[in-house]
Copies of this chain bind each other. A is one copy, B any other.
Amino acid sequence: MHTHSTSRISLPSHSLQPILPTVFDPTPLQPVSFFPAGSEIYAQGERAGAFYQVEFGAVRVYRLLADGRRQISAFHLAGETFGFEADTTHHFFAEAINATGVRVFRFATGADISRQLLPLALKGLTRAQEHLLVLGRQNAIERVAAFLVDMAERQGGLQQVELPMSRMDIGDYLGLTIETVSRVFTRLKDKGVIRLLNLRSIEITKHDALHAMSE
């Protein structure tokens, strides 16, 4: 059951600016649902019948092992889409990391959205495959560096990068413990590659060095 199912509130969509180029022109504008920090968007095993676009905030998509080990397969920031499945069942959990607005596109029965969905699915596939290289073959510094470079790129390539997620989330995304993530942050700081502005935002002071570390 949804621990947080009562926390979803539909907002009038006109109150939000269409900041992002509307990718789905033929579709009538969908309402935006609001999810408080930590609330569930969907759960593994639930019936799938929609896909989602982040309006603001951030989302983590993950899987669990029986003993509680967690692997976050992806973070989704404003403008990004997620939630498509190969069949009618969700194979993962999705949660709002912070207060998050999500536009929900329900599949109208019989409607053919494959033209719209394919490029998004392919983008997701490439991302997942690239992340496999990080998890399978890179060490802790390389993983964190790759993560920071990726986050920077997705935020427009600016020096200052916001990290909406906790160290625990970062660890569960990179296949590391929070302690190792923390130690790597400290090492990067000591090397002068990054500055820790506060817990949830860093400044990349040596972008080339960081990029080199990510291989």
CB neighbors of B among A74-114 (8 A): 74, 84-86, 91-92, 112, 114
B215 touches A63 (CB 8 A): no
**A86 interface neighbour in B86, B125, B174, Cβ under 8 Å:** B125
Closest partner residue, chain B, to A66 (CB atom): B215
**A71 interface neighbour in B66, B67, B114, B137, Cβ under 8 Å:** B137
A91 touches B136 (CB 8 A): no
* Residue A128 CB within 8 A of the other chain: yes
Contacts of A159 in B (CB 8 A): none
Stretch at the interface among A6-14, A115-123, A187-195: A115-123
Closest partner residue, chain B, to A113 (CB atom): B118
Q: A86-B123, A117-B118, A122-B121 are in contact. Are A63 and B133 (CB under 8 A)?
A: yes
A91 touches B126 (CB 8 A): yes
* Residue A27 CB within 8 A of the other chain: no
